[in-house]
Amino acid sequence: MIGAIPSDSDALLEMARDKSGAGRQALAASVADLLLDRDDALSDRERALIGEILHRLVRDVELSLRRRLAERLAGRADAPHDLIVALANDTIEVARSILVHSEALRDAELIEIVHRRTLEHQLAIAMRRRVSEPVADALIEEGAPEIIRTLLENPNAAISAAAMEYLVEQSKRIDSYQNPLLSRPELGPALARRLYWWVSAALRERILARFEIDPATLDETLAETVSGLAPLAAAEPDSPRKNLELAARLAASGEITPRLLVQTLRQGEVALFEALLATLAKIRLALAGRLLFEPGGEGLAIACRAIGIEAPAFASIFVLSRRARPHDAPPLPGDVSSVIRFYNSLRRSDAEALLAKWRRQSEPPAAGRRRLDERMRAHACG
């Protein structure tokens, strides 16, 4: 501490006339200590004057004092407002306590900080005890996933209906949004049904339990979706091309899920399924058709294993693919068991390697299966 703390406003004004760096530091330190340690003894006039002086000098004060000042003022509703705003726009070491705790900041001031300051400032705002919808919208507009996830995890943040709809769509490609979205009180049944299609099995169970949704209702919704997709592709004379264009749009938005593949076959939309599989596996449309209809189903198993489709979904795809051939008998239980055993025996890395080769060459799936069998036998022997 430099010198004695002045006890009246006249002494403070005298110190303010000293324009040297040391003088400004001394004045700032003195009035800061006066505000923090003797606030009860100050008159309203003295408190207002101290706030004005500190607001003018705050950028010239050492960081340690600014940080101490911010920490002490963050929880005080009567803190000088201009000083609080200045500290909130300071470096994050100073601003953090103000941004997280101070109730003196207005929404407009928080929004300006969101748009003009750093990610660390945004993170502190996302952690506030109360985040209004306009402030939450500003944070979401900036689009940093770690900030948005923190906001979603804050139970005291208010998120608008439009923002929730946007974030549910974004959760197709940003998995870290999915779990906190399910905990939000703003998530209604309609958005939960949309979220259901691309989350994990565990999160699907949470959706079904929280909203008491009948899985049959979800299947009906997906069936309606598939029925609506098929005419979009069939309406043009060049149907294969339109199917592929539609599949590309669905892939870009993350909507080609195992359930969509199963429901597409269940609706009898074989051509659309081939386009979806070709797009997801990044293979030629003709090869997707051959994989779908080859007698043993091993090629289809390899493709599904390579792109991460789980065994239950693959089993449904295999059975439905056989039913899609009207002149063939339905698969026998032994046929299904055999191809499922083959699927479960596959290492995903082997399936991915073979699928990559199919993308480069015109190799028949049967030949690929033989080579895979050889690799699997060699692995077992080794």
- Both tokens assigned to 265: 């076959």
Judge if 224 and 372 occupy the same domain. yes
- Both tokens assigned to 164: 């929730």
Q: What is the structure's pLDDT at 211?
A: 85
Q: How far is residue 26 from each of residues 32, 36, 62, 84, measured CA to CA in Å?
A: 10, 15, 11, 21
* 191 part of a folded domain: yes
- Both tokens assigned to 378: 């060699």
pLDDT of 78 strictly over 90: no
**Which H or E run includes 333?**
helix 333-345
- Both tokens assigned to 99: 């941004």
pLDDT of 227 strictly over 60: no
- Both tokens assigned to 103: 């109730």
What is the DSSP secondary-structure string of 33-71? Answer: HHHHHSGGG--HHHHHHHHHHHHHHGGGS-HHHHHHHHH
Q: What is the structure's pLDDT at 20?
A: 55
Give 36: exposed, middle or buried? Use CB within 10 Å, 0-12, 13-18, 19+.
middle
Judge if 221 and 289 occupy the same domain. yes
Task: Give the model's confidence band at 332: pLDDT under 50 very low, under 70 low, under 90 confident, else very high.
Answer: low
What confidence tens digit (pLDDT) does each residue in 117-136 have? Answer: 999 999 999 999 999 999 99
Judge if 146 and 84 occupy the same domain. no
Contact 28/65 with Cβ under 8 angstroms?
yes
* 264 part of a folded domain: yes
First to last CA, the chain: 77
Judge if 119 and 97 occupy the same domain. no
Contact 98/87 with Cβ under 8 angstroms?
yes
Judge if 166 and 88 occupy the same domain. no
Count: domains in the chain: 3
* 265 part of a folded domain: yes
Judge if 135 and 50 occupy the same domain. no
Q: What is the structure's pLDDT at 30?
A: 57
* 86 part of a folded domain: yes
* 228 part of a folded domain: yes
d(CA 27, CA 15): 6
Judge if 98 and 18 occupy the same domain. yes
* 239 part of a folded domain: yes
Residues 318-332 have a mean pLDDT of 68
For residue 172, what are the domain limits? Answer: 115-213
pLDDT of 215 strictly over 60: yes
What confidence tens digit (pLDDT) does each residue in 19-60 have? Answer: 555 555 655 655 555 565 555 555 666 666 666 666 665 665
* 110 part of a folded domain: no
Q: What is the structure's pLDDT at 370?
A: 52
Last-in-domain residue among 58, 77, 105: 105
Q: What is the structure's pLDDT at 329?
A: 55
d(CA 123, CA 16): 37
Q: Which amino acid is at 250?
A: L
Judge if 221 and 82 occupy the same domain. no
* 248 part of a folded domain: yes
pLDDT of 247 strictly over 50: yes
Judge if 246 and 349 occupy the same domain. yes
What is the DSSP secondary-structure string of 174-205? Answer: -GGGHHHHHH-TT--HHHHHHHHTTS-HHHHH
Last-in-domain residue among 105, 125, 140: 105
Give 196: exposed, middle or buried? Use CB within 10 Å, 0-12, 13-18, 19+.
buried
Give 20: exposed, middle or buried? Use CB within 10 Å, 0-12, 13-18, 19+.
exposed
Q: Evaluate if pTM is beyond 0.85.
A: no
Virtual torsion, Cα 328, 334, 339, 343, nearest 10 deg: 150
% the chain with pLDDT above 90 = 30
d(CA 226, CA 206): 25
Last-in-domain residue among 194, 213, 232: 213
Give 327: exposed, middle or buried? Use CB within 10 Å, 0-12, 13-18, 19+.
exposed
Judge if 334 and 364 occupy the same domain. yes
Coil vs helix vs strand at 131: strand
d(CA 254, CA 280): 10
What stretches of the chain adopt beta strand conformation (E)?
Answer: none
Q: Which residues neighbour 257 within 8 Å (Cβ) at sequence distance 6 or greater?
A: 197, 198
d(CA 205, CA 213): 10
Judge if 202 and 317 occupy the same domain. no
Judge if 35 and 98 occupy the same domain. yes
Virtual torsion, Cα 28, 30, 36, 38, nearest 10 deg: -150
